[in-house]
Amino acid sequence: MTLSSLDNSSSLSSTFLLSGIPGLEHLHIWISIPLCFMYLVSILGNCTILFIIKTEPSLHEPMYLFLSMLALTDLGLSLCTLPTVLGIFWVGARDIGHDACFAQLFFIHCLSFLESSVLLSMAFDRFVAICRPLHYASILTNTVIGRIGLASLGRSVALIFPLPFMLKRFPYCGSPVLSHSYCLHQEVMKLACADIKANSIYGMFVIVSTVGVDSLLILLSYALILRTVLSIASRAERFKALNTCVSHICAVLLFYTPMIGLSVIHRFGKQAPHLIQVAMGFVYLLIPPLMNPIVYSVKTKQIRDRVTQAFCY
């Protein structure tokens, strides 16, 4: 073995280093307090939504079954990032092994794209309810909803499954520092000491075929919904129809805005301040699971009444 090969092998990294908030390491223990609160509210909120829908027979309808899928996905996203985020801010545990990192990014990306599919399914639910109200019960049966859920999960798993294996074949040398408190494919691949063109192309394909297609179909659904609503003669009925979509529109904006922003920053915003990347990373994975149960509890009367009843009596 030559001296150069020894140098190369010695420089290979067996772990990655996760990051908190750069420049504020001395405040990490204090920053962990609002982070803990956000995780607690997110987990309790989504568990409450799931419990209410499960125990209330009147909520066993398509709209609420899709909402339970959204809550379950948000719960999974919170639990995926909680160990590494709190590990960094509580005890400064930055090291993460390659296999653990690849497993975490698999679940993060899989659940993120699953959430995109669920939001598309919820848009289809609103489309059928408003544009085809007489056929709503016959189109969105429990069997159809189950198949939609399985198809969404299958698509996410099939598209994300190759990523850990594509990353595992790379050697990693130089600085092993990641920008976030968790692992993402677009970040890990940049640390590889090899040609990452295939990973970059496949990553772009996955984003376009999931987030890109889903967002376009959601826009199409709402264009058709708006056309139907504008054809309703009664102003009160138009308002009532649109009001049933407000919670879903909020969930769509909460999910797609930070996700697209973070993806653009990682791929094209090389000159963007590092603090913006970190902030967008927290918004991307913490805000949707935190806000979705709050939005649906406030805007959906049936859930609001059950939450009020559960905590006030």
- C-alpha 160: how far from chain center: 14
Quickly state the pLDDT bin for 8 (edges 50, 70, 90): very low
Residue 10: inside a domain, yes or no? no
The answer to which of 97-101, 180-184, 277-281 has the lowest mean pLDDT is 277-281
Q: Would you place residue 5 in the very low, low, confident or very high pLDDT band (cuts 50, 70, 90)?
A: very low
Angle between helices 28-55 and 274-299 (to 10 degrees): 30
Angle at 104 between CA 99 and CA 108, to 5 degrees: 150
Identify the band that residue 104 occupies on the pLDDT scale cut at 50, 70 and 90: very high
CATH code at position 180? 1.20.1070.10
Buried b (16+ CB within 10 A) or exposed e, 274-305: eeebbebbbbbbbbbbbbbbebbbebbebbee
What's residue 51's pLDDT?
Answer: 92
Structural domains in the chain (count): 1
User: Does the residue 171 lie in any domain?
Assistant: yes
Q: What is the mean pLDDT of residues 207-235?
A: 91
Residue 7 lies in a domain: no
Q: What is the pLDDT, as a whole number, of residue 261? A: 79
pLDDT at 97 over 60: yes
Cα–Cα distance, 132 to 138 (Å, whole number)? 10
pLDDT: which is higher, 181 or 175: 181
Bridge partners (DSSP) listed for residue 17 = 95, 177
- Residue 11 has a pLDDT of 54
Q: What is the pLDDT of residue 9?
A: 41
Separation in Å, CA 204 to CA 28, 266, 296: 34, 12, 32
Note whether residue 4 is domain-resident.
Answer: no
Would 53 be classed as within a structural domain? yes
Task: Give 243-262 pLDDT, tens digit per residue.
Answer: 889 999 999 999 998 888 77
Average pLDDT taken over every residue of the chain: 87
pLDDT at residue 7, rounded to an integer: 41
- Structural domain range at position 183: 24-312
The answer to whether residue 258 is domain-embedded is yes
In a domain, 3, yes or no: no
| pLDDT over 90 percentage in the chain | 55
Residue 5, in any domain of the structure: no
pLDDT of residue 268: 65
The pTM score is 0.90
- Checking if the pLDDT of 277 tops 90, the result is no
Q: Name residue 102's amino acid.
A: F
Q: Note the pLDDT of residue 4.
A: 42
